[in-house]
Amino acid sequence: MHTVWVEKYRPRKLSDVIGQKAIVERLKSYVRTKSMPHMLFAGPAGCGKTTCAIALARELYGDEWHGNMIELNASDERGIDIVRGKIKDFARAATIGQDDFKIIFLDEADSLTNDAQAALRRTMERYTQTCRFILSCNYSSKIIEPIQSRCAVFRFKPLTEADVKAYQTRIASAEGFEVKQDGLDAITALAAGDLRKATNILQVAASTSKIIDQDAVYDSTESIRPSEVDDLLTIALKGNFTAARSKLDELIVRHGLSGEEIVHGIHKAVFDLPVSEDSKIRLIDRVGEAEFRIVSGSSERIQLEALLAHFANEGRSSKR
């Protein structure tokens, strides 16, 4: 079985990281001086946080980077025991080679409990001469202030469409298959700035066809097409609630999507609807309410039908 493409094409050097130029330049300066502070990487999924940490370690330590860096996932080991045990043991052990410090990379650090974060604060302070911490998280607000104040904060941004498309084109060329422009557009739309997700979508689509177009992408991922959402909302805005409800049933049966995924698709489509600005405001407000209720545990079917009913009412009101 071939290597998963996310790992196979992961950049090995900081200069190969795409979409985070300003952050990469700051990290390169640490490589040049062979020194670095504790760091906090914050940003959405798939934007290069883990890649930057591994590439930094590779450039600092060379072939010995595995021995001088430990990678832990805080969502798996999130309690105070992991801080007092595994992290502290690695922090106080000697480095391999002539390097002055080691790196502890703590992924998804916002999953750590408050007690674990409080214990980590003291560990960071006590062993700063022998190790440096890189904390990675999606939401920096979930990291306690004492830890944030001890770290240099790096805020990663979602990758642009051009960056995602260029990366997928490079992988397609290396793997020997063709990606059509509409296929790239579909992958980019589904990934929403998440390069890891984009690469996984491309690999799934490539397993079914050597020519990747829009249909191959949506069929292989069982994702709802924007055109299908547009059709659903157009029918509802015409005031035909029964037909819109039937269309909703068809989409649910065909794709097996959750209510939350359908609401997210509706949210993206609302802004392109041929309705007034006031109508869009009311519709977005109702979409947000439906999403909140679904996440809170309400019946997905009832909330989706209520949302379509509101679209139908809005369409009838605009005709008066």
Domain shared by 9 and 151, yes or no: yes
- CA separation for the pair 122, 219 (Å, rounded): 51
- CA separation for the pair 15, 50 (Å, rounded): 15
pLDDT for position 75: 63
Q: What are phi and psi of 69, to 5 degrees?
A: -140, 135
Domain shared by 139 and 206, yes or no: no
pLDDT for position 1: 39
Q: Give first-to-last CA distance, the chain, whole Å.
A: 61
CATH of the domain at 303: 1.20.272.10
Domain shared by 174 and 237, yes or no: no
pLDDT for position 26: 93
Residue numbers of the domain that contains 176? 161-221
pLDDT for position 251: 83
Domain shared by 243 and 187, yes or no: no
Torsion-angle region of 211 (φ positive above 0: left; ψ -120 to 50: alpha; else: beta) = beta
Domain shared by 77 and 101, yes or no: yes
Domain shared by 284 and 310, yes or no: yes
- CA separation for the pair 76, 142 (Å, rounded): 17
Domain shared by 145 and 167, yes or no: no
User: Pick from 155, 172, 193: which residue ends a domain?
Assistant: 155
pLDDT for position 320: 62
pLDDT for position 112: 84
- CA separation for the pair 109, 196 (Å, rounded): 19
Domain shared by 9 and 145, yes or no: yes
- For the chain, what is the domain count? 3
Name the pTM for this structure.
Answer: 0.81
CATH of the domain at 95: 3.40.50.300
Domain shared by 142 and 12, yes or no: yes
Domain shared by 11 and 123, yes or no: yes
Domain shared by 167 and 26, yes or no: no
pLDDT for position 68: 85
CATH of the domain at 183: 1.10.8.60
Domain shared by 177 and 283, yes or no: no
Per-residue pLDDT of the chain (320 residues; tens, 9 = 90+): 345 888 888 888 999 998 899 999 999 999 999 889 999 999 999 899 999 999 999 999 888 888 888 888 766 655 566 666 677 777 777 667 677 888 989 888 888 888 888 888 888 888 888 889 999 999 889 999 999 999 999 999 989 999 999 999 999 999 888 899 999 999 999 998 899 999 999 999 888 888 898 988 888 887 888 888 999 999 999 989 999 999 998 888 777 788 888 999 899 999 989 889 999 999 999 999 999 999 999 999 999 999 999 999 998 887 66
pLDDT for position 83: 64
Across the beta sheet with 152-155, the strand order is 69-73, 102-107, 131-137, 39-42, 152-155
